Amino acid sequence: MIDWANKKVIILDRDGVINHDSDAYVKSADEWLPIAGSLAAIAALNSRFRVAIATNQSGIGRGFYDESVLDDMHQKMAALLDEQGGHIDHIEFCPHHPDDGCDCRKPKPTMLKRIAETFSATTDEVVFIGDSKSDFECAENFGCDFILVLTGKGLKTLDKLAGKDLVVAHSMAKIVEEIA
């Protein structure tokens, strides 16, 4: 279990955690659709924590969309969050193709480090919530707590991580219920 008393920053993966994921990539603001309850959960988290996003966006490196389209997706998310009384405090994204050999793509911990530095948080003050093996490995590489949500790729990831010591939650909404 997670000791929430000393947590300061919640970092979320985006696709599969906040919005529905697609094997064909989410390539436009129209395709960006929130998972039921995720935006209300973020709004609830805002009352106690800084909330940030760390997301691999290789669709940019693959030429499926550009950074202006990614910005449109994030503007849509921000507008929908605002309707729920919520917000995202910071977003880090990796725009690179997996073969580019960059330093920022998860499972490397660079994005988590940048977010922690932004909020002057130590690793024990951070929780990373994701739905993939690379999210889990990123949290391990950074040294922070991790929660696997079963939305998105979460169920498949649960099988891949069999035998690992995991904190698992059905959804973002269930995490908020646990913290309350």
Q: Kind and range of the H or E element at 55?
A: strand 50-56
Catalytic residue check, 66:
no
Catalytic residue among 3, 15, 71, 72: 15
For residues 77 and 88, is the Cβ–Cβ distance under 8 A? yes
Catalytic residue among 13, 21, 135, 145: 13
Strand boundaries in 27-106, DSSP class E = 50-56, 90-94
66: Cβ contacts below 8 Å, ≥ 6 apart: 60
What sign results for the dihedral spanned by CA atoms 77, 80, 84, 89?
positive
Catalytic residue check, 72:
no
Enzyme catalytic residues: 13, 15
